Amino acid sequence: MTQGGLQPHAGSVDVVVIGAGHSGLAMSQYLSARNIEHVVLERGEVANSWVRERWNSLKLLTPNWQSRLPGYPYSGPDPDGYMSMPDVVGFIKAYANHCRAPVITNSEVTSVLRAGNRYRVDTGSYQWNARAVVIASGAFNLPSIPPISRDIPSSIVQLSTRDYRYPGQLENGGVLVVGASASGVQLAEEIHASGRPVTLAVGEHVRMPRVYRGKDIQYWMHVSGVLDQRYDEVDDLSRGRNVASPQLVGTHNRRTLDLNRLTAQGVRLTGKLAAVRNGKAQFSGSLRNVVKLADLKMNRLLETIDTWITDSAARETLGPAERFEPTRLPELPCMGLDLSGGEVRTVLWATGFRPDYSWLHVPVIDRKGFIRHDGGVAESPGLYVMGLPFMRRRKSSFIHGAEDDAAELAAHLAGYLDRTGSGHLPRRRVV
Amino acid sequence: MSTQEAVVDNGVNVDALLDAREGLTDAPEAAQFKWRASSEWISGTHTESVVESFFGLGEEQSHRSAFHYDTDHPELFASEDKGATPVEFLLVGLSGCLMAGIAAVAQHRGIQLHSVKASLEAGMDMQGILGIDSDVRNGFDNIKVRFDVDADASKEDIEALVAQSQKRSAAFDILSNPTDIHVEVRKDG
């Protein structure tokens, strides 16, 4: 397949895809396969946020064998390893070349408007007129920092996981890490090991072993169908869409990183950061319950896996079923911490991200700032979104989740173009 | 074995709750409630409180009748013990809230409850409120709750039920997280 004959004529194009990350490129691949004329507008370079907005030691939470994009599986030497950020960037850039995606880099979209039955897409220097738009600009653009950050004394340095790179960047002294998702636990460990004593504020979280019965936990979630669960078949979709990333880390020895491990290393666990008053951080008394919820939920997942193994009569030799030690907590958990006393120098917000749609002037944004959509089909004809958590499936925001979603949304989009297609130029065929 | 599935009935109308959740998702204004109590000092440590009206779904509401409560202190504090202490009322509120949550979650999850009992205990160092030691807080050191549950479910499912109830409990949230309290004073007479 070639893109040679598909260069859009100036300014007018059937489809604009916003963002050349894994989601936008996967969509581009399926549009190309259907000979649908499109461009992919990228604010920076391909895989931009993987290049610029991640900390140095970060590796993917999914093993290499799982990293695949449409028609492009991982083919490297270490299927059970985990990609570093340069690896991810290399993988996505190689994919962009492989599928000859019509990417225009350094072309940041500043506005999208509905104009008649088309969309007007502005970049700083150029205006596109498109029949359909696919928003693949990511779900993790802006750090979600709670308003209580304003009550933290000015003597404390605050930063988010987007700006954090490595421990040496922080002042010497204590660090309060807020949030115990994958980012929070990874950074708590790394920063504590650098000699900066860490207090970790723990709200609701997801606990999992890295390896279960000899295989990566992602393998079990993959084969047992957990990752393929569809958005229209779960009880509480909004919960599924808002759940924190699991406490996992990608390391060469595939070790588990959970709260017990952090406790053993000397990290102090507290409840969720509930308020800051007169320079004093107050932690929630819900720690025991959130830990219990996570332990119970982990055991339910392991039970699902055990049942799946029994039912599928797996013939390979697997490790025995296992249950892990419940999360240990101190007898008297720390309920408050004086932030002006000098013990803590830095607050690191590992409280997640939200998308930035400040440029989207189509009335599809709900009161919480998210796009209203049904499995990626937004409430405006011809407008689509890609790569959001649990958008169509539990795996939607993963790299390997883009394939199925892009295939289905490209089919929907093609149907839309066909239905509304009177008067447009016949599509050129590509061999 | 009967082929008919047993009907679970914990006396909770889950459909109504789910409808309310859906309705209030679309109408966030209607979800704004105000809960009220009014109180009058009687004598000594004895106060009488009344709960009757509240605001919700965009309008004034009221309970089926006015509920009256006496708070007082026990005789060992030289009081007349005409009612539970105010802090015991907090325990009553917590257990009532968790119980309601357990019943609702059990109904939603198809778990038949036969008996649910809770006992609550809160530690308090009286050196705080008596002003003996300024390092001691006035309030509880901690609250311990024990649930004894007889239900058609595994131990883990019962634990999950109680955990989910805590996660969704207003009283649990109020007691485990700070709440801004605004007290205004007017001079009568």
B154-179 confidence digits (pLDDT tens): 999 999 999 999 999 999 999 999 99
**Whether residues B127 and B150 fall in one domain:** yes
* Cα A85-A67-A217 angle, rounded to 5 deg: 100
Handedness of CA A274, A280, A285, A288 (dihedral sign): positive
**Whether residues B60 and B26 fall in one domain:** yes
- Per-block average pLDDT, block size 10, for chain A (431 residues)? 42 95 97 96 94 94 96 95 96 96 95 95 91 96 95 96 97 98 98 98 97 96 93 88 93 96 98 95 97 97 94 84 96 93 96 96 94 96 96 95 97 96 50 32
CATH of domain A4-141+355-419: 3.50.50.60
| Contacts A243 to B, Cβ<8 Å | none
The distance of A300 to chain B (nearest Cα, Å) reads 9
Span B111-115, average pLDDT? 97
Classify strands B46-56 and B34-35 as parallel, antiparallel or unpaired.
antiparallel
| Contacts B166 to A, Cβ<8 Å | 286, 289
pLDDT at A3: 41
Residue that has been written with the tokens 């009967």 in this structure: B2
| Contacts B146 to A, Cβ<8 Å | none
Residues A24/A70, Cβ–Cβ less than 8 Å: no
Give B70-88 pLDDT, tens digit per residue. Answer: 999 999 999 999 999 999 9
**pLDDT band at residue B17 using 50, 70 and 90 as cut-offs:** confident
**Whether residues B91 and B162 fall in one domain:** yes
Q: Give the torsion through C-alpha atoms of A313, A314, A317, A318, to 10 deg.
A: -100
Q: Is A271 on the interface with B (CB under 8 A)?
A: yes
**pLDDT band at residue B3 using 50, 70 and 90 as cut-offs:** very low
Q: Is B21 inside a domain boundary?
A: yes
Give B130-147 pLDDT, tens digit per residue. Answer: 999 988 999 999 999 999
Query: How many Å apart are CA A328 and CA A308, to the nearest integer?
Result: 29
**pLDDT band at residue B189 using 50, 70 and 90 as cut-offs:** confident
Describe the crossing of helices A287-312 and B155-167 by its angle, rounded to 10 degrees: 140
The distance of A317 to chain B (nearest Cα, Å) reads 29
User: C-alpha distances in angstroms, A405 versus A17, A230, A379, A395, B85?
Assistant: 14, 11, 17, 9, 59
pLDDT at B24: 85
Classify strands A109-115 and A103-104 as parallel, antiparallel or unpaired.
unpaired
Tell which wins on pLDDT, A200 or B18: A200
For residue A33, the cross-strand partners are none
pLDDT at A137: 96
Residue ending a domain, choose from B51, B68, B84: B84
Q: Is B110 inside a domain boundary?
A: yes
The distance of A206 to chain B (nearest Cα, Å) reads 15
Residue ending a domain, choose from B67, B84, B101: B84
Q: What is the ipTM of this complex?
A: 0.87
pLDDT at B6: 67
Residue of A154, A152, A211 lying closest to A178 (CA atoms):
A152
Give A277-301 pLDDT, tens digit per residue. Answer: 999 999 999 999 999 999 999 999 9
Structure tokens belonging to residue B76:
């060992």
Residue of A nearest to B141 (CA): A332
Residue of A281, A257, A293 lying closest to A183 (CA atoms):
A257
Contact residues for A178 (Cβ-Cβ < 8 A; gap 6+): A184, A201, A273, A347, A348, A349, A350, A351
Q: Give the torsion through C-alpha atoms of A64, A66, A70, A76, to 10 deg.
A: 20
Nearest to A286 among B156, B159, B176 (CB): B176
Contact residues for A331 (Cβ-Cβ < 8 A; gap 6+): none
pLDDT at A315: 73
**Whether residues B161 and B104 fall in one domain:** yes
| Contacts A293 to B, Cβ<8 Å | 160, 163-164, 167
Q: What is the total residue count of chain B?
A: 189
**Whether residues B114 and B160 fall in one domain:** yes
- The structural domains of chain A, with segments of one domain joined by +, span 4-141+355-419, 144-349
DSSP B151-163: ESS-HHHHHHHHH
| Contacts A299 to B, Cβ<8 Å | 156
Q: Evaluate if residue B34 carries a pLDDT over 60.
A: yes
Residue that has been written with the tokens 């859906």 in this structure: B22
Nearest to A289 among B156, B163, B178 (CB): B163
pLDDT at A254: 96
| Contacts A271 to B, Cβ<8 Å | 176
Centroid of chain to Cα A381:
26
**pLDDT band at residue B5 using 50, 70 and 90 as cut-offs:** low
The CATH code of the domain that includes B146 is 3.30.300.20
Query: How many Å apart are CA B161 and CA B106, to the nearest integer?
Result: 7
Q: Give the torsion through C-alpha atoms of A59, A61, A67, A70, to 10 deg.
A: -120
Query: How many Å apart are CA A280 and CA B146, to the nearest integer?
Result: 31
Q: Answer whether B177 sits within 8 Å of A277, measured CB to CB.
A: no
**pLDDT band at residue B8 using 50, 70 and 90 as cut-offs:** confident
DSSP A114-158: EETTEEEEEESS-EEEEEEEEE-S-S-SEE---GGGGGS-TTSEE
Task: Name the residue type at position A375.
Answer: G
Q: Answer whether A285 sits within 8 Å of B177, measured CB to CB.
A: yes
| Contacts A272 to B, Cβ<8 Å | 177
Residue of B nearest to A277 (CA): B178
Phi, psi values for residue A20, rounded to 5°: -110, 55
The distance of A379 to chain B (nearest Cα, Å) reads 16
Q: Answer whether A293 sits within 8 Å of B176, measured CB to CB.
A: no
Domain count, chain B: 2
**Whether residues B167 and B112 fall in one domain:** yes
| Contacts B160 to A, Cβ<8 Å | 293, 296, 300
Residues A39/A16, Cβ–Cβ less than 8 Å: yes
Q: Answer whether B156 sits within 8 Å of A299, measured CB to CB.
A: yes
Residues B56/B63, Cβ–Cβ less than 8 Å: no
Residues B53/B60, Cβ–Cβ less than 8 Å: yes
Residues A32/A99, Cβ–Cβ less than 8 Å: yes
Q: Answer whether A296 sits within 8 Å of B177, measured CB to CB.
A: no
CB-count burial class (<10 Å; 0-12, 13-18, 19+) for A33: middle
Contact residues for A294 (Cβ-Cβ < 8 A; gap 6+): A204, A205, A206, A207, A327
CB-count burial class (<10 Å; 0-12, 13-18, 19+) for A190: buried
Contact residues for A230 (Cβ-Cβ < 8 A; gap 6+): A392, A393
pLDDT at A171: 96
Structure tokens belonging to residue B147:
């649930």
Q: Is A237 on the interface with B (CB under 8 A)?
A: no
Write down the pTM of the prediction. 0.91
Residue of B nearest to A204 (CA): B167
| Contacts B176 to A, Cβ<8 Å | 271, 274, 284-286
Query: How many Å apart are CA A119 and CA A39, to the nearest integer?
Result: 14
Q: Answer whether B176 sits within 8 Å of A292, measured CB to CB.
A: no
**Whether residues B69 and B91 fall in one domain:** no
Q: Answer whether A282 sits within 8 Å of B178, measured CB to CB.
A: yes
Q: Answer whether B175 sits within 8 Å of A285, measured CB to CB.
A: yes
User: C-alpha distances in angstroms, B110 versus A115, A232, B18?
Assistant: 50, 21, 15
Q: Evaluate if residue B59 carries a pLDDT over 80.
A: yes
Query: How many Å apart are CA B13 and CA B2, to the nearest integer?
Result: 25
Contact residues for A84 (Cβ-Cβ < 8 A; gap 6+): A58, A59
**Whether residues B79 and B141 fall in one domain:** no
pLDDT at B42: 97
**Whether residues B109 and B80 fall in one domain:** no
**Whether residues B113 and B59 fall in one domain:** no
Structure tokens belonging to residue A304:
């699902």
Query: How many Å apart are CA A271 and CA A58, to the nearest integer?
Result: 25
Q: Evaluate if residue B21 carries a pLDDT over 60.
A: yes
Residues B161/B102, Cβ–Cβ less than 8 Å: yes
Q: Is B101 inside a domain boundary?
A: yes
**Whether residues B114 and B130 fall in one domain:** yes
Structure tokens belonging to residue A293:
């919820």
Range of the domain at B31: 11-84
The distance of B173 to chain A (nearest Cα, Å) reads 8
Give A232-283 pLDDT, tens digit per residue. Answer: 998 888 888 988 899 999 999 999 999 999 999 999 999 999 999 999 999 9
**Whether residues B100 and B20 fall in one domain:** no
Residue ending a domain, choose from B22, B56, B84: B84
Q: Is A242 on the interface with B (CB under 8 A)?
A: no
Q: Answer whether A293 sits within 8 Å of B178, measured CB to CB.
A: no
